Amino acid sequence: MTSEMTNCWLRFGVVIAAAWLFAACGGSPHPRAVGNSGAVAAPASIELRSEVRVATLYFPAGIYTLTSADKIGYYYRAPRKILQHTAASSFPRDGGIFVSKRSRDKLRGYIYLAGAITHVGNFSKADYVFRNNNEEQDVPAAGPY
């Protein structure tokens, strides 16, 4: 292959990768922060009882706290960084769990990638429970927000 053809394929690959990244993004790039006023009718936290793996991403077990919301759902920040494993090493990423406003039992992971939120995986069958910090008790998953 000539260097001209190699450059053409390289540019094509970059365009495809960029298109994939834009298509993978969901929700707002920067959802608005949720304050302590209690105005949001979402549970204060989600306890993920065991680690969840999505491809090369590892979401740790622990308490995920409600930090922000947008028009489609609520964002719960992970208790520590999500690890993305590669052949060479691991990279820590910011992220957590997304809960849809339409259906509270639809959970997805999210990470910040290229400055925007990217939804990944399906956490609906993970071992989790919604919690309200004030009451320190489980909140039924089927209840309304």
Per-residue pLDDT reduced to its tens digit, 20-34: 444 444 444 556 555
Looking at residue 25, the DSSP 8-state letter turns out to be B
Residue 82's beta-bridge partner residues?
93
pTM of the predicted model as reported, rounded to 2 decimal places? 0.69
pLDDT category, 8, cuts 50, 70, 90? low
CA 20/CA 98 separation, integer angstroms:
20
The reported pLDDT for the residue numbered 90 is: 87
The reported pLDDT for the residue numbered 61 is: 93
The reported pLDDT for the residue numbered 109 is: 93
By residue range, what is the domain housing residue 127?
27-139
CA 19/CA 36 separation, integer angstroms:
38
How many structural domains is the chain composed of?
1
pLDDT, average across residues 60-69: 92
Amino acid at 63: I
Express as a percent the part of the chain with pLDDT over 90: 30
pLDDT category, 59, cuts 50, 70, 90? very high
pLDDT, average across residues 83-97: 89
pLDDT, average across residues 89-103: 90
Looking at the domain assignment, is residue 9 inside a domain?
A: no
Residue pair 108/97 in contact (Cβ under 8 Å)? The answer is: yes
CA 78/CA 45 separation, integer angstroms:
10
pLDDT, average across residues 35-51: 76
How many Å from the N-terminal Cα to the C-terminal Cα in the chain?
59
pLDDT, average across residues 108-123: 89
Looking at the domain assignment, is residue 61 inside a domain?
A: yes
Looking at the domain assignment, is residue 6 inside a domain?
A: no
Looking at the domain assignment, is residue 133 inside a domain?
A: yes
CA 121/CA 116 separation, integer angstroms:
16
Residue pair 91/84 in contact (Cβ under 8 Å)? The answer is: yes
Looking at the domain assignment, is residue 13 inside a domain?
A: no
Question: For residue 12, is pLDDT > 70?
Answer: no
